[in-house]
A and B are shown apart, each in its own frame.
Chain A
Amino acid sequence: MSDKGLPALVCENVTMRFGGLTAVSEFNLVVPEGALFGLIGPNGAGKTTVFNIVSGVLHPSAGSVKLFGDDISGFSPDRIAHRGIARTFQNIRLFRNLTVLDNVLVGLHVRREANLAEALLALPRHRAEEARMASTATQLLRDVGLEDFSSYRASALPYGQQRRLEIARALATGPRVLLLDEPAAGMNPAETEDLMRLITDIRERFDLTILLIEHEMKVVMGICERMTVLDHGETIAEGTPAEIQCNERVIKAYLGGGVVAEN
């Protein structure tokens, strides 16, 4: 691809104000292609706001977001999805009224051009495409271990599997950059282990760049190569897991000022 060498995702001086509150201030981020990058910070630090800006849910008050060099700030979420950014949510947001398979199919339709008239008139072509998509969807469900549940309503899945379905749905849109918002939240240790394997596995298989928000330090420190730490909307540190673990500002942010003061 021509844009090889460009970073997958760049945030330049991104600022987000809600009235008088600055949720994210002068945020800078460079995620190289193929990286598994962490975004951490205490509650309310602005991590999910960053995700909302990158995925187009929010438009930044200032600054820009670039995907492989193209400025995408201000694009609508569906256009950004077409450009190749997909995400999951901190609070699971599946289409609970649809089946597991249909949830994945919604994502797959991004990569399809056949329109309603064709669906109604050009039956053979439409059918062939439908069949192809159904098999792709089934494959994606197999990748995340949900192939036996494809006809279930999404709302009927247990919690951990709903998280996996969100990942499958995001993958279905054919992303180049995947944003995972606390994928391990509410998982038990065994599920968390599985999830870590799944994340590193899909990165290889789908040639993805992954940006990950996570509170579970075992996950972040275990699989991320680099990470950025946010606190009160400000970037307080960036580096490898080892560097972050002994960064004083980070420890202060997480544990409160007193601990550092005593040292």
Chain B
Amino acid sequence: MTMEIFLQNMANGITLGSLYALLAIGYTMVYGILRLINFAHGEIFMISTYFAFYGTAIFALPWQISFLIAIVLTALLGVVIERAAYRPLRDAPRISALISAIGVSFLMANLGLVIFGGRPKTFYRPPIFQTPIELGGVRVVALFFVIPALTAILLVALNYIVYKTKTGLAMRAAQWDFDTARLMGVDVDRAISITFAIGSALAAVGGIMWGLRFAEINPNMGLFPGLKCFIAAVFGGIGNISGAVLGGFILGFGEIMLVAFLPGLAGYRDAFAFILLILILLVRPTGLLGDKQRVKI
């Protein structure tokens, strides 16, 4: 393998890792506050790409505005899903909400097929992201810098919100104990809505960048990234934001490097994530950065 190809693979790994990280955060944040695996998260990611697609293709909006609107709409979608499908089951056994999540996931994927059509659509890619940049003898397009840079900025912002603001403190308090948080004046429902809004907005950023990277979108595109990022969140320690980021990068990198170094196994690319899941569950069920198991009373 030449140096050039290796660096190209590095860039691929970082990019894919960033996208996985953005998506995995949504799983981990929702799990942190509700103890629920939001299986609809992959479909939220899918729909965000269609919001952006229709913004540019049908409404002919400038891409900046279209992308921004797509992010806002996706955040709202996340909030609406929580209200409609999870909040009524807040006091039901946890398995009920999980089943509801799976139902929402199927519903959205199939609605997508009906409304958007099964044929893949070509995502609009603004030329600015395709500007070639030469670095150390390797030519890559600007997108390969934009994705990790934007991810880093969002991670800093997320960290600020969670650890330095009133809202973040309310989220962390609610994460520990709903009832006590309420008694201390925290509006727990609002904290949960904000959690869904943030998680979904990050999924939308991930979705849009996915579209920019792979150019093609379809209604089933949420399934595999969704499952893989769920695995990334579990691998890093579900409930832990840094863990989700770490898991996302390990998964993204691992996948790219597996194909790069062992091209014979390229067909097992998707299996890599599931093998990782089985291994971590056997060796360290709480994930890399997960806390000791604690029971929520």
A residues neighboring B (CB under 8 Å): 55-57, 76-78, 81-82, 86-87, 89, 93-98, 102, 105-107, 109-110, 112, 114-116, 119-120, 130, 169-170, 172-173
- Contacts A78-B182, A95-B177, A98-B176: A106 and B170 contacting too (C-beta < 8 A)? yes
CA distance in complex: A78, B190 (Å): 11
Query: Could you say which residues of chain A place their CB within 8 Å of the CB of B173?
Result: 95, 98, 106
CB–CB B179/A57 < 8 A: yes
What would 16 more interface pairs be, CB under 8 Å, given A77-B183, A120-B161? A55-B183, A77-B182, A78-B183, A81-B184, A94-B180, A98-B176, A106-B186, A107-B185, A109-B186, A110-B185, A112-B166, A116-B161, A120-B157, A169-B184, A173-B184, A173-B185
Q: Does B194 contact A (CB under 8 A)?
A: yes
**Contact A81:B176 (CB < 8 A) given known A109-B166, A116-B161:** no
CB distance from A75 to the nearest CB of B (A): 11
CB-defined contacts of B217 to chain A, threshold 8 Å: none
* Chain B minimum-CB-distance residue to A175: B185
* A57-B179, A89-B180, A98-B176 known; A78+B187 contact, CB < 8 A: yes
Q: Is the CB–CB distance between A107 and B161 below 8 Å? A: no
* Count class of interface residues, chain B: 20 to 34
Q: What is the CA–CA distance of A105 and B185 in the complex, to the nearest angstrom?
A: 11
Given the complex, which residues of B lie within 8 Å of A56, measured CB to CB?
182-183
Looking across the interface, which residue of chain B has its beta carbon closest to that of A55? B183
Interface Cβ pair total, 8 Å cutoff: 85
> Interface of B with A (CB < 8 Å)?
157, 160-161, 164-167, 169-170, 172-173, 175-177, 179-188, 194
Q: Is the CB of A97 within 8 A of B161?
A: no
Q: Which residues of B contact A81 (CB under 8 A)?
A: 182-185
A contact residues around B194 at 8 Å (CB):
116
A-B contact pairs, 6 of them (CB 8 A): A55-B183, A57-B183, A87-B183, A110-B185, A119-B164, A120-B161
Residue in chain B with minimal CB distance to A88: B183
Question: CA A119 – CA B181 in complex, angstroms?
Answer: 21
User: Contact at B169–A107, with CB atoms within 8 Å?
Assistant: no
Contact, CB under 8 Å: B170 / A109: yes
Contacts of A82 in B (CB 8 A): 185
A106 B181 Cβ-Cβ under 8 A: yes
A112 to B169, CA, bound (A): 13
Bound Cα distance A172, B170 (Å): 14
Give the docked Cα–Cα distance between A78 and B194 (Å).
Answer: 17
Contact B183 A116 (CB under 8 A): no
Whether A95 contacts B172 in the complex (CB less than 8 A), given A89-B180, A116-B194, A119-B165, comes out as: yes
A169 to B161, CA, bound (A): 22
Q: When the two chains form their complex, are residues B182 and A106 in contact, meaning their CB atoms are under 8 A apart?
A: no
Q: Are A105 and B169 touching (Cβ within 8 A)?
A: yes
A76 touching B182 in the complex, CB below 8 Å, given contacts A106-B173, A109-B170 = yes
Smallest Cβ-Cβ distance to A166: which chain B residue: B180
Partner of A109, one of B157, B161, B169, B180: B169
| Least CB distance, B296 to chain A, in whole angstroms | 11
Residues of chain A lying within 8 A (CB to CB) of residue B160: 120
Query: Given the complex of chains A and B, what is the CA–CA distance between A242 and B186 in angstroms?
Result: 41
Residue of B at shortest CB range from A109?
A: B166
Bound Cα distance A11, B173 (Å): 30
Most interface-central of A87, A89, A94, A120 (chain B CB within 10 A):
A120
List residues of chain B with CB within 8 A of the CB of A57: 179, 182-183
Verify B172–A97 contact, CB threshold 8 A.
Answer: yes
Q: Which residues of B contact A112 (CB under 8 A)?
A: 166
User: Which of A77, A97, A173 lies at the interface centre, i.e. has the most chain B CB atoms within 10 A of its CB?
Assistant: A77
Q: A93 vs B176: C-alpha distance in the bound complex, in angstroms?
A: 10
Contact, CB under 8 Å: A78 / B179? no
A96-B177 Cα distance, complex, nearest whole Å: 9
B175 CB contacts on chain A under 8 angstroms: 97
Q: How far is the CA of A116 from the CA of B179 in the complex (A)?
A: 22
Contacts of B170 in A (CB 8 A): 106, 109
CA distance A56 to B183 in the complex (A): 8
User: Within 8 Å CB of B167, what residues of A?
Assistant: 115-116, 119
| Complexed CA–CA distance, A120 and B170 (Å) | 16
A172 to B166, CA, bound (A): 14
Q: A95 and B186: CB pair below 8 A?
A: no
Closest 3 CB pairs of A and B: A110-B185, A81-B185, A77-B182
A119 — which chain B residues lie within 8 A by C-beta?
A: 161, 164-167
Chain B residues near A93: list those with CB within 8 A: 177, 179-180
B195 to nearest A CB, angstroms? Answer: 12
List chain A residues, Cβ under 8 A from B164. Answer: 119, 130
Q: How far is the CA of A98 from the CA of B173 in the complex (A)?
A: 8
Assembly CA distance A173 to B173 (angstroms): 14
The answer to whether A114 touches B187, judged by C-beta atoms less than 8 angstroms apart, is: no
Whether A116 pairs with B165 at a CB distance below 8 angstroms is yes
Q: How far is the CB of B241 from chain A (nearest CB, A)?
A: 13
B169 touches A97 (CB 8 A): no
Contacts of B184 in A (CB 8 A): 81, 86, 106-107, 110, 169-170, 172-173
B197: nearest chain-A partner, CB-CB? A116
Q: Is the CB of B169 within 8 A of A102?
A: yes
With CB as the reference atom, state the residue of chain A lying closest to B157.
A120
